[in-house]
């Protein structure tokens, strides 16, 4: 599978799919599934760097710099490590996570409320991100 760098990887992911493409009906990837697929692909041991695993578990950190420093790396080094291991930019994973948080919050209020809960600058920022990542507006993602 492309993007996997670990030795002895199980290749458990489905052929022809990239990491994180196990999206739900709203088009939002399941980040826990992404992590599981990365572990399956790269191996549970030495294949997936523990710093990458930590970053995947803490995508909601206040800032990339804060996340990187919490594991003893610079932000550019963490970005490079995640991309080398997973083949997906860390910034994209963080945007997907914020979009997921907003979609989860949508049924409880307005789009503006969901944007604020997911730390988007405003409703327009959430809308641009949703259109970019899933090609739909946030209100159309209501399930």
How large is the average pLDDT for residues 104-120? Answer: 93
pLDDT digits 0-9 by tens, 10-29: 444 444 444 444 445 455 66
Helix, strand, coil percentages in the chain from 3-state DSSP, rounded to 5: 55, 0, 45
Residue bearing tokens 């490590």:
81
pTM over 0.75: no
pLDDT top residue among 85 and 44 = 85
Q: In which region does residue 89 sit, left (phi positive, over 0), alpha (psi from -120 to 50) or beta (all else)?
A: beta
Q: Are 48 and 85 in contact (CB under 8 A)?
A: yes
Looking at mean pLDDT, say which of 4-8, 36-40, 56-60, 110-114 comes out highest. Answer: 110-114
Residue whose C-alpha is closest to residue 31's, from 120, 94, 106, 119: 94
Locate 38 and state its tokens.
Answer: 């990365």
């Amino acid at each position: 599978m492309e993007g996997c760098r670990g030795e002895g990887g199980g290749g458990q992911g489905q052929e022809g799919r990239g990491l994180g493409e196990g999206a739900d009906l709203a088009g939002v990837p399941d980040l826990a599934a992404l992590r599981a697929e990365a572990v399956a692909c790269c191996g549970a041991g030495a294949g997936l760097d523990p710093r990458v695993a930590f970053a995947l578990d803490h995508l909601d950190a206040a800032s990339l710099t804060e996340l990187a420093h919490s594991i003893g790396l610079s932000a550019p080094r963490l970005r490079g490590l995640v991309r080398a291991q997973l083949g997906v930019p860390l910034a994209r994973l963080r945007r997907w996570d914020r979009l997921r948080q907003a979609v989860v919050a949508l049924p409880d209020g307005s789009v503006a409320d969901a944007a604020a809960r997911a730390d988007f600058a405003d409703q327009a920022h959430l809308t641009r991100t949703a259109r970019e990542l899933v090609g739909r507006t946030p209100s159309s993602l209501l399930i």
